[in-house]
Structure 1
Amino acid sequence: MQTASFETLSDWLRHCEQLHPKNIDMGLARVAEVARRLELAFDCPVITVAGTNGKGSTCAMLDAICREAGWRTGVYSSPHLVHFEERCRIQGEMVAAGDLVEHFEAVEQARTQGGEAVSLTYFEFTTLAILRLMSRARLDVAILEVGLGGRLDATNVIDADCAVITSVDVDHVEFLGPDRESIGREKAGIMRAGRPVVVSDPMPPASVIEHAQAIGADLWRFGQDFNFSGDKQQWAWAGRGRRYAGLAYPALRGANQLINASGALAALEALRQRLPVTAQAVRLGLAHVELPGRFQIVPGQPALVLDVAHNPHSVAALAANLDAMGYFPATHAVFGAMADKDLAPMLAKVAPIIDRWYFTDLDTPRALTAQQLQQKWHALQMAAGARREVPVSTHAGPLQALAAAMKAADPADRIVVFGSFYTVGGVLQQGVPRLQAKHLGA
């Protein structure tokens, strides 16, 4: 069979989009077979992070602390906001597009090796290519963010030396199941017998704990094996045999980030024999960690908040964080979302603090149109018997929606952009410095 060959990453990504009829095809057999042909393996500790929300923040904190400790790090995360290359960071830097090409070629050769080609989805193909790059990057630690679920996710072809499970909530029900117990069971699939698993969800589904016990994993449970405390000025963490006191709050904003930081510190404590980090590395890592789109506040007038919250749990956290910001005369919301999202609880949680909506189309067939969002919003308002009249408009894209919000907003107001990675990514395509310049009237 003839093997495809392309010179640019863009060409390879277009090729990947055409290989499989589905965006998501749950199952590890095909990915595992190609990984076997690639002889894919890591000679450093691997930390795999699953969960409904908080995965990206936890990975970013692990990465920042390990780099401050002098370790060479590699992070795989998805989806990206603007550039595909964001999905792979080596030593905190996004990989170059050209550096990925040879690994896409290797996956294609392995996929088509022998007789009938192995069919891979876009996510599976690209994940294997990035994992191959990371496996050859002379890393001291590899940090892998699960894409969907865990048990059948492409990242699970690699055995985790430490698994981390962040929050478990209802999302992607068509693939993972209708409730927290079934979803937790899928996420628990990244655990390995005899190896540590950190569960940072304060109230995890029983299925997560039961699976850890059933396979004999070394369970680190929030509230039992590690915990945090704090006041308005500082916080402290305590785990098995180690404490950190007088910590500054993480650079990532939001009350939920202390839970993510606690899980990251527990994972590093569980791997201390192989990956020791100093208290100073912890302090500096948490102080310097960066991750766009996680309650990211762009200074200026009006204030601009970017958040990839895209399910009821994360939108509830966003609403709490917005409420904690203090008083603003009006809050304008730029919102776009996927068609499979449970919109009613998402909108209900944040609606009381939104004074004007700007619904937007998104650049993916998986998204609801702005008109559909507007119709659903009005239906929910009528069903709830809402008494407050809230202006609504529709827009062709996130940038157009943001421009309309900035035009309508007073300098003392704030604008929040949320609902999807595509919504925030569509705004970030313009770049934060230019957004700041617009806000400051430059």
Structure 2
Amino acid sequence: MQNLPTTLNDWLALLETRHSKEIDMGLDRVAAVKKRLGIHYECPVIVVGGTNGKGSTCAMLESILLQAGYRVGLYSKPHFLDFNERARINGEPVGDQVFVEVFARVEVAREDISLTYFEFTTLAICQLLADAKLDAVILEVGLGGRLDAVNVIDGDVAIVTSVDIDHIDYLGDTREKIGFEKAGIFRTEKTAICSDPVPPQSLLDHALEIGADLWLFGRDFNYNGDKQQWNFAGRAQRRNSLGYPSLRGANQLLNASAALAALEALRDRLPIGAQEVRNGLAMVDLPGRFQVMPGRPAVVLDVAHNPHAAATLSQNFDNMGFHAYTYAVFGSMLDKDIDGVIEQIKGKIDHWCVTDLPLPRAASAAQLEEKLLAAGVLQDAEHSIQSFASPELAYAFALSKAGENDRIAVFGSFLTVAGVMRARKSQHH
């Protein structure tokens, strides 16, 4: 073997230069390398896919299992500030050295098989979680489901949180096509949970065809609640007088219900008490999901980047109390339904600060401004659109203009939120 990198950053730089096609569909290459590595799990594996709500559902599962005293591994993506955020063991990011060692193992095992950055790092993280002697593993699926690298792992439980139109380039432009892709993580005779209240027929048909044990929201599990507390009902298990999850926002009870349904399906292998569920939901922490930062003006970080998520963000604004003006720091990938996002939220934004993002497939600030003008966003004494070269600059401008009764909403893509997180971090140091 030639000299392999000795630091995580050098490894990531190397992986980023390889394999020109960013997403090369098909799982044969990944499956072959997985077999060579001999990745397998002794413990239950929960695989979570869906358009929105994946991260929240994973975070709730992790938090509840940790409260119950289990050793838990989580793979989630993308990351905001450090690659290490993608793999967590017992709630802590995995250290650089562990990645360096496991990357070398994948590199040796793959021999002549080419892997994308995403495939390579997915195999590495699946391997390090298999090495860690865990009680439970939670794997978040990226793009789609059926052809995602995570799908070479068989989950004991698979959850599809929501089916909405997101990556039109890859997955098709209808909920039926996307539903079929998402349902690709279901397995014969294994628990398959769908928390989308209106699942596409394609997902139902696929689950039936492969003989998965399908749990549907409203049929096999549901919730009800008042302002103070809520209750979960599964097939055989009830969880009453639960506190609201610490994650704020409109869809969190759907996500929490899916998590509790998954834990019900695994209750023989991973028993969990009522108090541990309560504590777990109270302790969940997930950056960038309707995250309201302390201080004034209010700053909200939200990775909403499709119309469904933007509608939820808009609804969440209404529950925040009065703010004189709302500034938006907004940047987006070009393959998103940007017009749909703007349509859902434009009524709540007074001043738009649109930004370029450091990726070739990002929309430019100029393109975003054009779309805002086409959507009828005004430029007058009370409304404005300004363009910036980076989220950091857009955020600095919004901060300089916003009064303490105003709010700044940062949304549109992981990179938009990550840029502002970096800016805030350097302010505070």
* Letter in structure 2 aligned against 1:122: Y
Name structure 1 gaps, 5 residues minimum: none
Residue in structure 2 matched with residue 160 of structure 1 by the alignment: 155
Q: What SS does the corresponding residue of 1:224 show, helix, strand or coil? A: coil
- Could you report, residue by residue, the CA deviation over 1:215-264 in whole angstroms, capped at 9, with x for unpaired residues? 11111110011100111111111111111111110000002111000000
Write the mapping of 1:75-114 to structure 2, written as runs, cut at 5 A.
75-112=74-111
CA–CA distance in 2 between the matches of 1:140 and 1:24? 32
- Could you report, residue by residue, the CA deviation over 1:362-387 in whole angstroms, capped at 9, with x for unpaired residues? 122221121221122223328xx999
Residue in structure 2 matched with residue 271 of structure 1 by the alignment: 266
Establish whether residue 406 from structure 1 lines up as the match of residue 406 from structure 2. Answer: no
CA–CA distance in 2 between the matches of 1:345 and 1:255? 19
Assess if the C-alpha contact under 8 Å between 1:298 and 1:305 holds in 2. yes
Assess if the C-alpha contact under 8 Å between 1:58 and 1:263 holds in 2. yes
CA–CA distance in 1 between the matches of 2:167 and 2:25? 12
Question: Which of 261, 276, 284 pairs up with 1:281?
Answer: 276
Write the mapping of 1:267-416 to structure 2, written as runs, cut at 5 A.
267-381=262-376, 390-416=383-409
Write the mapping of 1:19-98 to structure 2, written as runs, cut at 5 A.
19-98=18-97
* Letter in structure 1 aligned against 2:17: Q
Q: CA RMSD in A?
A: 1.6
Residue in structure 1 matched with residue 420 of structure 2 by the alignment: 427
Q: What SS does the corresponding residue of 1:212 show, helix, strand or coil? A: helix
- Could you report, residue by residue, the CA deviation over 1:374-405 in whole angstroms, capped at 9, with x for unpaired residues? 122223328xx999962011112112111111
Q: Percent identity?
A: 56
Question: Which of 220, 223, 243 pairs up with 1:225?
Answer: 220
CA–CA distance in 1 between the matches of 2:363 and 2:3? 34
The farther-off stretch of 320-329 and 58-67 is 320-329
Tell me the TM-score normalised to structure 2 length. Answer: 0.97
Establish whether residue 239 from structure 1 lines up as the match of residue 234 from structure 2. Answer: yes
The Cα of 1:42 is off from its aligned counterpart by: 1.1
CA–CA distance in 1 between the matches of 2:95 and 2:394? 31
Write the mapping of 1:138-217 to structure 2, written as runs, cut at 5 A.
138-217=133-212
* Letter in structure 2 aligned against 1:289: V
CA–CA distance in 1 between the matches of 2:63 and 2:99? 23
- Could you report, residue by residue, the CA deviation over 1:259-308 in whole angstroms, capped at 9, with x for unpaired residues? 00000000000111111111111000000010000000002111010000
Residue in structure 2 matched with residue 127 of structure 1 by the alignment: 122
CA–CA distance in 1 between the matches of 2:208 and 2:3? 46
Assess if the C-alpha contact under 8 Å between 1:150 and 1:186 holds in 2. yes
Establish whether residue 12 from structure 1 lines up as the match of residue 11 from structure 2. Answer: yes
Assess if the C-alpha contact under 8 Å between 2:45 and 2:136 holds in 1. yes
CA–CA distance in 2 between the matches of 1:11 and 1:303? 38
The Cα of 1:3 is off from its aligned counterpart by: 4.6
* Letter in structure 1 aligned against 2:257: S
Assess if the C-alpha contact under 8 Å between 1:230 and 1:236 holds in 2. yes
Q: What SS does the corresponding residue of 1:151 show, helix, strand or coil? A: coil
Assess if the C-alpha contact under 8 Å between 1:297 and 1:306 holds in 2. yes
CA–CA distance in 1 between the matches of 2:175 and 2:47? 20
CA–CA distance in 1 between the matches of 2:219 and 2:2? 53
Assess if the C-alpha contact under 8 Å between 1:293 and 1:308 holds in 2. yes
* Letter in structure 1 aligned against 2:9: S
Assess if the C-alpha contact under 8 Å between 2:168 and 2:336 holds in 1. no
